């Protein structure tokens, strides 16, 4: 049966005829929100160590991380021979273009690497870098992933994000103008945001010329400023039960543009990084199964209530 939402799984297979497995790379970048250019404390929820696998550490060369990543994935996906180097840690366009090119070229020199996925902040991109990505995307798979996190400036300020929503919208527009495939990441349940605020993000996101979306429910990471904020003001945070979140996300999906690919709608950080795991330990495949089941039960689908804004 066709899925009731526009799942990103299978996109590469359809487009390029093969599955493309991502290998996470930590190329030793930092972030302007940590090194003082924009800020020093970083986003209040940030602990980058929580989000990357063991094989990916900046003391290893890009090629070594790719070799080790392939070994790691071969055990799980026997038929995978094609990979994308996923520059994920910190802000992966935060360096002069020549430095970036050297790192990306090193990854692309591996015969099994078909392209790159580059995670970054919307304030770490410029015309010169976008021109480079546009050219590269004529020969290789190129995906830019922007951390946007919230559509509301008051939230971005509160989480010390160091950029506003307009900066994100401009980066997405400039990327789309060059025809570069791009995605964005959002966090559901940042402090001060109500369920209505979250629902209100759907029409705003619909206006952005994005291709893919990743969502995460907020998880409070140990040792972060947000953990302290949560302890002091728990009433400022929505806490979703697992069923409640799946139901909320079905509501949200109904309002989303039907062509937006959903790459992720929730995810669990490894338990050692969080102070509690309200949903128990649940795998991504099980989360997706619950979403699909709920869509069937409610006999609904992505975009059911989507209304195109007429300008």
Instruction: Give the interface with ligand SF4 as residue ranges (CB under 6 A).
Output: 31, 33-34, 42-43, 46, 48, 90-91, 121, 147
- In contact, 209 and 172? CB cutoff 8 Å: yes
CB of 238 to ligand SF4, least distance (A): 20
CB of 173 to ligand SF4, least distance (A): 20
**In terms of CB distance, is 72 or 186 closer to ligand SF4?**
186
Give the CA radius of gyration of the chain: 19
The DSSP call for residue 308 is P
- In contact, 256 and 203? CB cutoff 8 Å: no
**In terms of CB distance, is 4 or 161 closer to ligand SF4?**
161
CB of 59 to ligand SF4, least distance (A): 18
**In terms of CB distance, is 30 or 80 closer to ligand SF4?**
30
69: CB partners within 8 A, 6+ apart: 23, 24, 25, 53, 55, 56, 83
Tokens, residue 135: 């050219």
CB of 15 to ligand SF4, least distance (A): 29
CB of 38 to ligand SF4, least distance (A): 9
**In terms of CB distance, is 36 or 111 closer to ligand SF4?**
36
156: CB partners within 8 A, 6+ apart: 149, 150, 163, 164, 165
**In terms of CB distance, is 50 or 199 closer to ligand SF4?**
50
Neighbour tally for 145: CB within 10 Å = 21
**In terms of CB distance, is 45 or 248 closer to ligand SF4?**
45
Measured between its terminal Cα atoms, the distance across the chain in Å is: 36
CB of 169 to ligand SF4, least distance (A): 17
């Amino acid at each position: 049966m066709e899925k009731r939402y526009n799942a990103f799984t299978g996109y590469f297979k359809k487009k390029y005829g093969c599955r493309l497995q991502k290998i996470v790379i930590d190329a030793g970048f930092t972030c302007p929100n940590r090194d003082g250019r924009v800020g020093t404390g970083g986003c209040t929820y940030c602990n980058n160590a929580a989000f990357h696998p063991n094989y990916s550490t900046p003391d290893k060369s890009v090629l070594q991380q790719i070799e080790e990543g392939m070994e790691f994935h071969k055990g799980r996906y026997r038929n995978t021979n094609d990979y994308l180097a996923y520059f994920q840690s910190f802000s992966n366009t935060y360096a002069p273009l020549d430095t970036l090119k050297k790192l990306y070229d090193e990854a692309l020199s591996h015969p099994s690497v078909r392209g790159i996925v580059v995670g970054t902040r919307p304030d770490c991109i410029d015309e010169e870098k976008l021109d480079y990505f546009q050219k590269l995307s004529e020969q290789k798979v190129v995906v830019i992933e922007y951390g946007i996190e919230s559509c509301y400036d008051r939230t971005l300020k509160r989480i010390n994000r160091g950029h506003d929503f307009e900066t994100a919208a401009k980066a997405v527009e400039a990327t789309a103008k060059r025809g570069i495939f791009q995605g964005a990441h959002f966090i559901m349940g940042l402090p001060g945001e109500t369920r209505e605020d979250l629902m209100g993000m759907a029409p705003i996101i619909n206006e952005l010329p994005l291709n893919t979306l990743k969502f995460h429910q907020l998880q409070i990471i140990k040792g972060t400023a947000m953990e302290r904020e949560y302890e002091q003001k728990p009433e400022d945070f929505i806490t979703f039960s697992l069923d409640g979140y799946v139901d909320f996300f079905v509501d949200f999906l109904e309002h989303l543009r039907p062509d937006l690919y959903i790459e992720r709608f929730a995810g669990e950080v490894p338990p050692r990084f969080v102070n509690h795991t309200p949903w128990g330990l649940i795998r991504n495949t099980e989360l997706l199964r619950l979403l699909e089941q709920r869509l069937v039960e409610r006999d609904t689908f992505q975009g059911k209530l989507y209304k195109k804004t007429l300008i």
